[in-house]
């Protein structure tokens, strides 16, 4: 088999066979296919697309390219969740404890943030002492004991994706639905869960900017999951507005604790209850409405909060933060961001808000940059709220005052105030089964 023939076939709009796709993925993994040929095929896929069978074959080959996590020692149906990335998205910190409190084990591997989007692992590491590097045996043992562990990715999980993603990033081939779907789902399949709930974000802060694109990506991923024998559901949620009020690592942990005490912002609470209920449904806990009631119940009774505490303790973190969030790192300086006119807060453009928070130290500009766990932004107003000139819309948190200026100028472009109240739009847009 020759790589040049595979590239040509796809360039002409042909359908690649399973053997051709396996040849490509194995060659990429072993390093026997040069980057220029890999890039050429990626670009041909961007233009010509892939059908359902090709996308499934690509995903399965990628998932088989490295280690696979075996969760079979943990009894019960293990349900994983993946979010396609957003600003202020602390859903894993809330969902994990809710689902585990309902008796469904959660063995989750999460990632770090890059650019304007945050990562669950960085958020958890803002808890003093919290360990995210946990060996496989201990990871399994924690889930067996308390039903919940969230750890960083370890081992050689989907090496083909690492190589392909690095090339896609520099060859303008990230935005292709089959490539995104295969990249995400190969990692989910290798991570070993029996069922998968996908939170596909749409809007300015998300990968998918339009609803049509988000639906198409959701459909592609659900088809892959089901084709691979894992029950899969996708929930499409709005990322045109930030989720919750906090952006930044320790600030988001604090907000997650608030949601688990039943006092969190409505939007993030609604998204988390919906996603948790879908996870519970896939785990066989009843129909959707029963599962919503179950999820709400464990928040109300503080059982989910107790689960979070147990997980923090099991991963060597300071569990007292749950009762006293004041023990989390806090920034030396704060600065209010004021409304520049009277009106209604029409929008806070999420990706710009993410960049503004990153500029305060909460995110990484490059993989190597260090992050400040205390830095970030807390919204005082949410889109739709009335604002008066000079009133604080948000509060910036930083350990170095010189960082405020660049962040404020990014916020000047993030905040839109209008004379008329904006139309309310739903947060949960669609569910693709």
Can residue 183 be called a binding residue for ligand URA (CB under 6 A)? yes
Best CA proximity match to 89, nearest among 217, 238, 312:
238
Site for ligand URA in 272-311 (CB under 6 A): none
| Cβ closest to ligand URA, residue 180 vs residue 298 | 180
In angstroms, give the least distance from the CB of 174 to ligand URA: 6
Can residue 45 be called a binding residue for ligand URA (CB under 6 A)? no
Q: Are 105 and 78 in contact (CB under 8 A)?
A: yes
Q: Are 167 and 173 in contact (CB under 8 A)?
A: yes
In angstroms, give the least distance from the CB of 172 to ligand URA: 13
Kindly give, in sequence order, each residue whose CB lies less than 8 Å from that of residue 195, ignoring residues fewer than 6 positions away.
77, 78, 79, 80, 230, 231, 232, 279, 282, 283
Site for ligand URA in 206-225 (CB under 6 A): 207
Host H or E run for residue 197: strand 195-202
| Cβ closest to ligand URA, residue 73 vs residue 169 | 169
Can residue 198 be called a binding residue for ligand URA (CB under 6 A)? no
Among the residue ranges 49-57, 174-182, 245-253, 349-357, the one whose residues contact ligand URA (CB under 6 A): 174-182
Can residue 184 be called a binding residue for ligand URA (CB under 6 A)? yes
In angstroms, give the least distance from the CB of 180 to ligand URA: 4
| Cβ closest to ligand URA, residue 65 vs residue 407 | 65
**What whole-number distance in Å separates Cα of residue 404 and Cα of residue 349?**
18
**What whole-number distance in Å separates Cα of residue 58 and Cα of residue 56?**
5
| Cβ closest to ligand URA, residue 92 vs residue 315 | 92
| Cβ closest to ligand URA, residue 3 vs residue 164 | 164
Among the residue ranges 1-9, 39-47, 177-185, 258-266, the one whose residues contact ligand URA (CB under 6 A): 177-185
- DSSP H helices, 315-432, are 350-357, 404-414
Q: Are 285 and 293 in contact (CB under 8 A)?
A: no
Q: Are 25 and 65 in contact (CB under 8 A)?
A: yes
Q: Are 333 and 408 in contact (CB under 8 A)?
A: no
In angstroms, give the least distance from the CB of 26 to ligand URA: 20
3-class SS of residue 74 = coil
**What whole-number distance in Å separates Cα of residue 218 and Cα of residue 301?**
34
| Cβ closest to ligand URA, residue 307 vs residue 364 | 364
Best CA proximity match to 315, nearest among 135, 134, 154, 146:
134
3-class SS of residue 50 = coil
| Cβ closest to ligand URA, residue 179 vs residue 319 | 179
Among the residue ranges 117-125, 128-136, 172-180, 377-385, the one whose residues contact ligand URA (CB under 6 A): 172-180
| Cβ closest to ligand URA, residue 177 vs residue 295 | 177
Can residue 239 be called a binding residue for ligand URA (CB under 6 A)? no
**What whole-number distance in Å separates Cα of residue 226 and Cα of residue 188?**
12
Site for ligand URA in 318-347 (CB under 6 A): none
* 229 φ/ψ sector (left φ>0, alpha ψ -120 to 50, else beta): left
Host H or E run for residue 120: helix 120-125
| Cβ closest to ligand URA, residue 102 vs residue 177 | 177
117 Cα distance to chain centroid: 8
* Alpha-carbon distances, residue 424 vs 215, 270, 384, 421 (angstroms): 21, 15, 7, 9
In angstroms, give the least distance from the CB of 161 to ligand URA: 7
Of the residues 180, 195, 257, 360, which one makes contact with ligand URA according to CB under 6 A = 180
Q: Which residues are catalytic?
A: 82, 161, 168, 183, 187
* Alpha-carbon distances, residue 231 vs 63, 307, 338, 386 (angstroms): 17, 25, 47, 43
In angstroms, give the least distance from the CB of 224 to ligand URA: 13
In angstroms, give the least distance from the CB of 192 to ligand URA: 17
* Count of residues in contact with ligand URA, rule CB under 6 A: 6
In angstroms, give the least distance from the CB of 279 to ligand URA: 20
In angstroms, give the least distance from the CB of 311 to ligand URA: 24
Q: Are 121 and 253 in contact (CB under 8 A)?
A: no
* Neighbour tally for 405: CB within 10 Å: 11
Residue nearest to ligand URA (CB): 183
Can residue 3 be called a binding residue for ligand URA (CB under 6 A)? no
Query: Binding residues for ligand URA, per CB under 6 A?
Result: 174, 179-180, 183-184, 207
């Amino acid at each position: 088999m020759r790589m040049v023939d595979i590239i040509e076939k796809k360039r002409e709009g042909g359908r690649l066979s399973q053997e051709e796709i396996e040849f490509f993925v194995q060659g990429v993994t072993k390093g026997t296919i040069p980057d220029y040929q890999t890039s050429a095929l990626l670009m041909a896929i961007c233009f010509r697309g892939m059908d359902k069978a090709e996308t499934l074959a690509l995903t399965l080959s990628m998932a088989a390219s490295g280690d696979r996590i075996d969760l079979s020692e943990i009894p019960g149906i293990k349900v994983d969740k993946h979010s396609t990335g957003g600003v202020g998205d602390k859903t894993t910190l809330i969902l994990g404890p809710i689902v585990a409190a309902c008796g469904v084990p959660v063995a989750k591997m999460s990632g770090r943030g890059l650019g304007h989007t945050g990562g669950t692992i960085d958020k958890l590491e803002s808890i003093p002492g919290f360990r995210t590097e946990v060996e496989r045996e201990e990871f399994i043992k924690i889930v067996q004991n308390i039903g919940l562990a969230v750890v960083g990715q370890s081992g050689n999980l989907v090496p083909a994706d690492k190589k392909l993603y690095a090339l896609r990033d520099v060859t303008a081939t990230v935005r292709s639905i089959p490539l995104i779907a295969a990249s995400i789902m190969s990692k989910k399949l290798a991570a070993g869960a029996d069922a998968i709930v996908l939170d596909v974000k749409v809007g300015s802060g998300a990968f998918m900017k339009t609803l049509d694109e988000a639906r198409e990506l959701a459909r592609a991923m659900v088809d892959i999951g089901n084709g691979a024998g894992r029950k899969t559901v996708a929930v499409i949620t709005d990322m045109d507005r930030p989720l919750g009020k906090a952006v930044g690592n320790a600030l988001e942990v604090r907000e997650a604790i608030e949601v688990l005490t039943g006092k969190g912002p409505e939007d993030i609470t609604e998204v988390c209850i919906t996603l948790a209920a879908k996870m519970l449904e896939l785990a066989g806990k009843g129909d959707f409405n029963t599962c919503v009631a179950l999820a709400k119940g464990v928040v109300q009774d503080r059982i989910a909060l107790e689960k979070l505490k147990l997980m923090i303790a099991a991963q060597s973190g300071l569990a007292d933060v749950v009762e006293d969030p004041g023990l989390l790192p806090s920034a030396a300086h704060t600065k209010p961001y004021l409304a520049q006119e009277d009106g209604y807060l029409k929008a806070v453009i999420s990706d710009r808000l993410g960049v503004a928070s990153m500029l305060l130290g909460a995110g990484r500009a490059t993989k190597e940059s260090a992050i400040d766990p205390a830095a970030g932004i807390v919204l005082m107003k949410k889109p739709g709220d009335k604002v008066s000139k000079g009133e604080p819309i948000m509060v910036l948190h930083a350990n170095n005052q010189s960082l405020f200026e660049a962040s404020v100028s990014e916020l000047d472009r993030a905040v839109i105030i209008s004379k008329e109240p904006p139309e309310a739009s739903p947060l949960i847009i669609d569910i693709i089964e």
